[in-house]
Amino acid sequence: MNDLQLITNKIHFIRNQKVMLDYDLALLYELETKVLKQAVRRNIIRFPDDFMFELNESEFIALRSQIVTSNKGGVRYMPFAFTEQGIAMLSSVLNSEKAIIINIAIMRTFVLLRNSNLSLEEISKKLHDIENQLPDIYKILNHLMDKNQLITTTKDRPKIGYKK
């Protein structure tokens, strides 16, 4: 698995925002989660609510069920969720070469995801425009697709009648 896939798999959508959780970031930075949280708490003024927030219990339970993790030993504190800006701020709090390298990779991943979402929206809009401009052709194409589907289903049926 390459770095892009690894980071992309750790991005979650919580409270209508793309975020990464403290324990995933700690793993990437090769730190203990406790150390990462301590650094953030010491510099809490750098992390307003739109940079970082703490998950509530229901969000954590829902997230845990989505990513299918076990409840080994339980969790003392709810995880912190960092937005893209919060992750950028982490590089100033975790002043190490590893943190800088990881942050650059994460920022590139966020930008790539944002750009791919825009291109999907653009494609969808263009298809919708074509449908509006050429409704008759669109209906004909749908009819032909349905007709082809009927032909393939009749070919697959067993023949009825006498065998010679």
pTM given for the model: 0.61
- Starting at the earlier edge strand, list the strands of the sheet with 80-82: 11-14, 17-21, 80-82, 52-54
- Give, for all 164 residues of the chain, the pLDDT tens digit: 566 778 888 888 888 888 999 999 999 888 899 999 999 999 999 999 999 999 988 888 888 776 655 444 456 778 999 998 998 888 888 878 888 888 888 888 888 887 776 666 777 777 777 777 777 776 777 777 776 555 555 566 667 777 66
Q: Which residues, at least 6 apart from 11, have a Cβ–Cβ distance to it below 8 Å?
A: 18, 19, 20, 109, 110, 113
- Give the amino acid at 98: K
pLDDT at 45: 93
